[in-house]
Amino acid sequence: MASTSVDLLIAGAGPTGLGAAKRAQEQKANFVLVDKAAEAGGLASTAKTDQGFLFDVGGHVIFSHYAYFDDVIHEALPNESDWFTHERVSYVKSRGKWVPYPYQNNISVIPIEDQSKAIDGLIDAAVTRAQTPHIKPKTFDEWIVRQMGEGIADIFMRPYNYKVWAVPTTHMQCNWLGERVAAPNPKLVIQNVLHKRTAGNWGPNATFKFPARDGTGGIWKAVAKTVSPNYLRFGEENGIISIDAKGKTVSLKSGETIKYKKFISTMPIDYTLSITKNVDGIDGAKKAANDGLVYSSTHVVGVGYRGVPPPDIKGMCWLYFPENDCPFYRCTVFSLYSPYNVPGESHKTKTIQMSDNSKPVTDKSERPGPYWSLMFEISESHMKPVNHDTIIQDTIKGAVATGMSRGDDEVVSIYHERFDHGYPTPSLGRDDALKQILPVLDHHDILSRGRFGSWKYEVGNQDHSFMLGVEAADYALYGVPEMTLNYPDIINGKPNKERRLNREM
């Protein structure tokens, strides 16, 4: 049986694993990265249909809190022609109207009866905050009501967030919020209502970049190419099937073992616990994970169309859907991000079905475009089940119901994939569980990091995930404290411009 020995072992070639590998290479460490997938990307990969349509694993865009991340991305894709830059144009479909995002800042466009409920709630919430400044909300639901009132909570926040997280807002904590959710200014909101105007863009991704070719996955394949292939091992045979914590050894599907001094795992932490043996305190850690860690699964449905998008959604980036007329909570107009996300106009395809599936396909020959595409996200949990047999048709039907497509649009390509670990839910028991689990693994030199490795959604964007890996490598090699893992509020509040990529390797 073959055996390898390294100072640093990295599992997974998504953003976190590549961040660790990039930093380890920069520090000239003795390391290896293994991934059972055929190429880099992880949960930031891009799929390509037989008809030539690209679809990301969810709605990913590039924006950054870190100069080091910017340096690495620029090194991988350095040319202006490698990117498109977009101003975010996002709306919420509510009561048949397109409400500019964020909803709570733009109630000036919703029906008058909803405006009245929303304003009543905003005033009540402001009075409550003034009278009880010492009270801190414990749940996401309490935070919503305290910041926005019952009106906006019932009309938008509760139904939308249930569709996203697949659990009620009462089951979620509020420590994760930071820059993720806009807290409305009641005075400004009411002034906008009186003057019938809308608020401007909000949030860190008001402007974002998207790769010209190969989707989001293309970014990470390009980053992987800046790491020497001597350090990277891809393929099913490199899947990790067991971890001996005391022996500091992992076993691969191929039968090979790898001995390490430090191990950065980007696998879901619940899976890491399930395959790890010889760990002091493993039973308590497993119980903490079972009791405190919650996640939802994500269905990504991509639909390629012949023709052009409906005029109403022209120029829109991504849209939110709180109501029950569709199964998806978010839809991205994916063809807008890059013309290379769809086939060229001369490419010929057959029509699979009409958007209104009750209408017959009258021409089954291969015909040219132009083409456009939509990408939908649907959450699933034991509290919010999904019918796997009908999810594609339910989604296509929902696109018509919400005005994202027309009944006579021709569907020429369909993509569907379910990701078991989709969103790491900021559950009420999450923080206590992580305080118990991470030190147990860390004590055995196993650093569980990444979107599901460290289970912190508030630092789960691509830039965060990448830097979790960079900082884990520094911690593993030199004991440098990890800012992103331990101080999310500081990272999200002030961009980190101190660490830069060393280009003189």
Q: Both 79 and 218 in a single domain? A: yes
If pLDDT is split at 50, 70 and 90, which confidence band does 205 have?
A: low
Q: Both 236 and 117 in a single domain? A: no
Q: Both 462 and 485 in a single domain? A: yes
Is residue 503 situated within a structural domain?
no
Q: Both 300 and 377 in a single domain? A: yes
Name the residue among 155, 160, 73, 145 with its Cα closest to residue 110. Answer: 155
Q: Both 330 and 405 in a single domain? A: yes
Is residue 91 situated within a structural domain?
no
Arithmetic mean of pLDDT over the chain: 92
Does residue 504 carry a pLDDT above 50?
no
Cis peptide before 168 (omega within 30 of 0): no
> What is the rounded CA–CA span in Å between residue 237 and residue 249?
16
**Domain stop point among 425, 451, 479:** 425
Give the distance from CA 105 to its chain's centroid: 24
- Residue written as tokens 């884990």? 472
Is residue 263 situated within a structural domain?
yes
**Domain stop point among 383, 400, 425:** 425
Q: Which sign, positive or negative, has the C-alpha torsion 358, 360, 364, 369?
A: negative
> Which amino acid is residue 373, in one-letter code?
S
Q: Which has more pLDDT, 363 or 495?
A: 363
> Which amino acid is residue 138, in one-letter code?
K
Is residue 453 situated within a structural domain?
yes
Is residue 209 situated within a structural domain?
no
Does residue 200 carry a pLDDT above 60?
yes
Compute the average pLDDT of residues 406-433: 97
Number of domains in the chain: 3
Q: Both 261 and 285 in a single domain? A: yes
Q: Both 419 and 442 in a single domain? A: no
Q: Both 124 and 246 in a single domain? A: no
Q: Both 336 and 412 in a single domain? A: yes
Compute the average pLDDT of residues 434-460: 96
Domain with residue 329: its CATH number is: 3.30.70
Domain with residue 444: its CATH number is: 3.50.50.60
Tens digit of each residue's pLDDT (9 = 90 or more) over 1-59:
578 999 999 999 999 999 999 999 999 999 999 999 999 999 999 999 999 999 998 77
> What is the rounded CA–CA span in Å between residue 39 and residue 117?
51
Residue 132 burial (CB count, 10 A) = 10
Choice among 2-6, 112-116, 472-476 with the minimum mean pLDDT: 2-6
Under 8 Å between Cβ of 101 and 92: yes
**Domain stop point among 405, 425, 445:** 425
pTM of the model as a whole: 0.92
Contacts of 348 (CB under 8 A, 6+ apart): 366, 367, 368
Compute the average pLDDT of residues 175-188: 73
Is residue 96 situated within a structural domain?
no
Tell me what pLDDT residue 201 has: 57
Q: Both 304 and 421 in a single domain? A: yes
Residue 197 burial (CB count, 10 A) = 12
Q: Both 289 and 252 in a single domain? A: yes
- Residue written as tokens 């971890």? 243
Is residue 498 situated within a structural domain?
no
Question: Number of C-alpha atoms within 13 angstroms, CB side, residue 79?
Answer: 5
Maximum pairwise Cα distance, the chain: 75
Q: Both 331 and 350 in a single domain? A: yes
Is residue 376 situated within a structural domain?
yes
Name the residue among 476, 491, 372 with its Cα closest to residue 27. Answer: 476
> Which amino acid is residue 431, in one-letter code?
D
Q: Which domain holds residue 127?
A: 101-195
